[in-house]
């Protein structure tokens, strides 16, 4: 496979951009590769600047549940661009998308739009502290909630490979009010709440963590969090930046029938454009400026192009058979994949259309389990799949995704490639 142009492009990029990339994991250093520079994408395929084509299971980290460059989304966006790209004052698509979010996420009685998942989580945490009058935030090891200073504690995603528990440049005082506990450990959470529950402003959790790899909640863990937070008059924040509109049209909270106080959404909600949201109970959201004392703002928040892309994406997801058809495809694929790895010391963790292959013979139910997996073998696997024109998420601590655009031909190609891997 010739990647001469990508290699040259990277050499130029590092002269002007730190590390040559605008998000660390794109550098592919964790898999000892040089970055791919993409020229275009359509359906389930990426094409790099050397003309190589890759079936894509990263999908811009889960954004493209419809596949890349979906025609209906593109048409809506092209029309919207003709009217202007940013106004700095309200526009109708903001309310239209907020109504759609509320329809499918009833717990989000009111919604505020922002530009990224990090911004949504940062704002939701500030709001939780303002509402409760408390400072302490509880998160879970391996759960990644963006790169806000106070949440870079035992984080997953790209931070999972860092040698310290949080980023350089973060004063210890910023993380002093953040406690990270083991995911799926009911006893540890119960013990903490007995000792310090009355000081907890909020518990924030990825209901299905995707940034230590896909890890499923066990033994009613999510319901346990809901019970403890209610007893302590703390708030429960579901970070559904990845799971929102991915696990179902109502996200993980619909799947597990749990009503959080606040929810953050991202990725799919922007339809390929920078957009995210946070929302929840009306009495909590009433504290946001201009109605209340908790300040949050953004020049490009509610951008009409991103709102339009999100509206059309959710309209497509609302078709009666969308999730049924996707479920049929994913069930067939994961059953076949499980058979193919049965004797390879590879563990498949999956739910709905997201999955991770962990290189271990043991179950993976926590960040500690994930860190014990064979990351060197993952590197070999990534290179093996790339050589067969398959692009997966370039980290052992990330999720992969299927879309409605993946066909049986592409899925069979993936299965054939993994059969060939030792």
User: Phi and psi at residue 283, in whole multiples of 5°?
Assistant: -70, -30
Residue with token string 């309200």? 90
Q: Which of 59, 76, 8, 65 is CA-nearest to residue 326?
A: 65
Nearest to 270 by CA among 230, 302, 231, 236: 302
**Cα separation, 107 vs 264, whole angstroms:** 11
Q: Which H or E run contains 390?
A: strand 390-391
99 burial level (CB within 10 Å; 0-12, 13-18, 19+): exposed
Q: Which residues are catalytic?
A: 144, 239, 267
Location of structure tokens 């528990």 = 165
Torsion over CA: 322, 323, 327, 333 (sign): positive
CA 236 centroid distance within chain:
18
Cβ partners under 8 Å of residue 90, min gap 6: 302
């Amino acid at each position: 496979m010739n990647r001469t142009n990508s290699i040259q492009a990277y050499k130029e990029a590092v002269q002007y951009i730190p590390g040559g990339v605008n998000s660390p994991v794109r550098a592919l250093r964790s898999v000892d590769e040089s970055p791919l520079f993409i020229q275009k994408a359509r359906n389930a395929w990426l094409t790099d600047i050397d003309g190589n084509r890759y079936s894509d299971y990263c999908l811009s980290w889960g954004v493209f549940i419809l596949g890349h460059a979906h025609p209906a989304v593109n048409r809506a966006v092209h029309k919207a661009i003709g009217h202007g790209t940013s106004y700095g004052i309200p526009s109708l698509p903001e309310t239209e998308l907020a109504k759609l979010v509320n329809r499918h996420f009833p717990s989000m009685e009111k919604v505020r739009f922002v530009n990224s998942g990090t911004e949504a989580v940062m704002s939701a945490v500030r709001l939780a502290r303002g509402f409760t009058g408390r400072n302490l935030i509880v998160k879970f090891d391996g759960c990644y909630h963006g790169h806000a200073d106070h949440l870079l504690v035992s984080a997953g995603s790209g931070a999972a490979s860092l040698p310290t528990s949080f980023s350089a440049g973060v004063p210890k005082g910023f993380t002093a009010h953040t406690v990270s506990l083991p995911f799926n450990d009911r006893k540890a959470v119960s013990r903490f709440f007995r000792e310090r529950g009355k000081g907890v402003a909020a518990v924030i959790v990825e209901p299905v963590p995707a940034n230590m790899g896909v890890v499923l909640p066990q033994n009613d863990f999510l319901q346990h969090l809901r019970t403890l937070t209610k007893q302590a008059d703390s708030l429960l924040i579901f970070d559904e930046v990845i799971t929102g509109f991915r696990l179902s049209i109502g996200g993980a909270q619909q799947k597990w029938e749990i009503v959080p106080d606040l929810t953050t959404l991202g990725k799919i909600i922007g339809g390929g454009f920078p957009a995210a949201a946070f929302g929840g109970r009306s009495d909590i959201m009433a504290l946001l400026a201009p109605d209340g004392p908790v300040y949050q703002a953004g020049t490009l928040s509610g951008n009409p192009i991103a709102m339009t892309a999100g509206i059309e994406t959710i309209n497509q997801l609302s078709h009666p058979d969308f999730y049924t058809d996707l479920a049929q495809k994913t069930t067939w694929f994961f059953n076949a994949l499980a058979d193919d790895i049965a004797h390879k010391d590879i563990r498949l963790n999956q739910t709905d259309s997201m999955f991770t292959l962990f290189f271990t013979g043991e179950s993976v139910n926590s960040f500690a389990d994930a860190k014990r997996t064979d990351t060197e073998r993952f590197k070999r696997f990534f290179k093996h799949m790339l050589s067969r024109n398959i692009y997966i998420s370039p980290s052992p601590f990330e999720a992969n995704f299927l879309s409605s655009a993946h066909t049986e031909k592409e899925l069979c190609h993936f299965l054939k490639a993994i059969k060939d891997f030792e």
